[in-house]
Amino acid sequence: MNERRRVKMENDKPGKIIVVCIVGDKIVEVQGTLEIGRVEMKFARRSEILGIDTKGNFTQVEFNLAQALELVANGFLKVEDRQNEAPSAAEFIAWMQNHPTAIAHGYAIGGDHHDARVSIEGIKVKAKDVTPLILKDFVNDFRFAEDFTIDDDLWCWWD
């Protein structure tokens, strides 16, 4: 008995898809549901925290300490994550706690990935916020970054 099975996705309600298994013309079993609205709600919450639309596949983002802590609290930023040889998100956040004018920069994953993670690639300090202590700590802690700049602003970045 070689019956052909196929999976069909139907819209039951806005934001919800039902996945069913079909043999011939009969629905045999419901395989499960996929709540597509949850992904959209996650993107919306992340965009709200960052203050920008982050629905693109990879959106460059900058955020301050309060936003970083909110991203962690909402599960968008994992403290153990790191970008290759970069410090971990926890280490960047600790640095920002010691230097609250610092700004983290990185990217938000999204779009086709159905993934709402945020990644930190480095730190930026605007020229108006640079103090001798910040400059000393920045050089000591980030001088081995792949891109390390001390001009008016301080900038470090890991790929």
**Alpha-carbon distance 157 to 159, whole Å?**
7
pTM for this entry:
0.73
Q: For the CA atoms of 47, 82, 139, 100, what is the dihedral angle to 10 degrees?
A: 40
Tell me 87's DSSP state. P
pLDDT for res 142: 97
pLDDT for res 38: 57
- Residue 17 is encoded by which pair of tokens? 């898809």
pLDDT digits 0-9 by tens, 34-82: 444 455 678 788 889 998 876 667 789 999 999 999 999 999 999 999 9
Print burial letters for 88-123: b (CB count within 10 Å at least 16), e (below 16): ebbebbebbeebeebbbbbbbbbeeeeebbbbbbbb
Q: Locate the domains of the chain by residue range.
A: 55-157
Looking at residues 144-158, what average pLDDT do you find? 96
